[in-house]
């Protein structure tokens, strides 16, 4: 029974990661850029620092992370000026907190020392196709537990990581 379960989990993980790779838009595809203000390219989730699930299968969790961030980036696309597109390649992701084994199950525990981090490369392109800004970003939020509006944490998945991106976007992209 254990072999069957581990094979099933592995199969689901492979399918989820394959699906994630196939559905990721190509940042060099101009038609994709004109349709979506923010185009995201994901690397293999197993290569990221910490995108580990607590209570669900790894593949299912990775799919949920990708879906949540893709929805967030899609909604945030409206913040770009008309005609501009932003291509992002996520190189590393470290979710807030750390997985701990508690009694019979694992949970993600939030402590000061386990702050969220995100590394990505980006390229902001104007309506005429010219590169406005590009570079590498390395974000971390060592005070993630002390932000105002902490009630929102529970309403939005991956709030801390998205909060970092919002701040970076406001400081780096909107001010260009």
For residue range 108-117, what is the model confidence (pLDDT) as tens digits? 888 889 999 9
CB 135 within 8 A of CB 122: yes
pLDDT in tens, 151-168: 555 567 898 899 899 999
Q: How confident is the model at residue 24 (pLDDT cuts 50, 70, 90)?
A: very low
What average pLDDT does range 134-162 have in this prediction? 81
Distances (CA, A) of 152 to 115, 148, 158, 159: 17, 9, 10, 8
Q: Which residue has the tokens 């993630």?
A: 144
In this prediction, residue 28 carries a pLDDT of 46
What average pLDDT does range 43-58 have in this prediction? 92
- What is the chain's mean pLDDT, rounded? 79
């Amino acid at each position: 029974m254990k072999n069957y379960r581990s094979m099933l989990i592995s199969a689901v993980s492979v399918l989820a990661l394959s699906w994630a790779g196939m559905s990721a838009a190509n940042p060099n595809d101009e038609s994709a850029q004109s349709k979506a203000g923010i185009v995201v390219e994901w690397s293999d989730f197993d290569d990221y620092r910490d995108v580990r699930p607590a209570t669900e299968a790894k593949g299912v969790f990775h799919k949920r992370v990708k879906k949540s961030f893709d929805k967030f980036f899609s909604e945030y696309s409206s913040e770009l000026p008309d005609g501009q597109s932003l291509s992002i390649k996520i190189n590393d992701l470290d979710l807030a907190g750390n997985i701990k084994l508690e009694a019979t199950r694992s949970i993600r525990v939030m402590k000061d020392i386990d702050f969220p981090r995100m590394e990505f490369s980006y390229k902001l392109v104007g309506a005429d196709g010219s590169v406005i800004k590009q570079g590498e970003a390395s974000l971390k939020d060592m005070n993630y537990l002390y932000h105002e509006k902490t009630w929102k944490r529970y309403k939005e998945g991956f709030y801390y990581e998205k909060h970092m991106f919002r701040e970076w976007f406001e400081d780096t992209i909107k001010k260009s």
